[in-house]
Amino acid sequence: MRKAIFPGSFDPITLGHEDIIRRGITLFDEIVIAIGVNAEKKYMFTLEERKHFLEDTFKDEPKISIITYEGLTIDLCKKIGANFILRGLRNPADFEFEKAIAHANRRMSKIETVFLLTAAKTSFISSSIVRDVIRHKGQYELLVPDAVRVKK
């Protein structure tokens, strides 16, 4: 069985995340969306809100589950029996950053990282851009799945 983890903070999920996950469904038997918890990081949305956004976005997709975790992603992979880490790439900077992590993960385990390029129409979207648009009361709805709604 081809089981992949798609890790991230998803603060919030964007249309780019959704695109990568939906395209990844065709490659894997199961995708576990793993929301990483980092006590050092300040989030705009609570863990419960982020999990709800993901659950609502993928409610009709039986091949997807959503969990939260702390620690190394490869340790989570071993714990739940995932053989792959799925990641999206928007630009060359993403590639360089993700390549280093993939090499380290491969060195410490047998887990392969699979990269998908983001669609051209979502390649400019990042969670940090979405948070900035929300802070400034802009049209963030154009950048996120319908499940992400913020009281203005």
Annotated binding-site members for ATP: 9-10, 17, 88-90, 98, 122-128
- 95-127 in b/e form (b: 16+ CB < 10 A) is eeebeeebeebeeebebebbebebeeebbebbb
Q: Six-digit token pair at 94?
A: 């993403």
- Exactly one of 23, 51, 90, 99 is catalytic; which is it? 90
**135 catalytic per annotation:** no
Annotated binding site: 9-10, 17, 41, 73, 87-90, 98, 122-128
**131 catalytic per annotation:** no
Annotated binding site for substrate: 9, 41, 73, 87
**17 catalytic per annotation:** yes
**90 catalytic per annotation:** yes
- Exactly one of 41, 137, 151, 152 is catalytic; which is it? 41
The residues, any chain, with a CB within 8 Å of residue 90's CB and separated by 6 or more, are 16, 118, 123, 124, 125, 126
**Helix H or strand E segment including 113:** strand 112-117
Query: Which are the catalytic amino acids?
Result: 17, 41, 90, 127
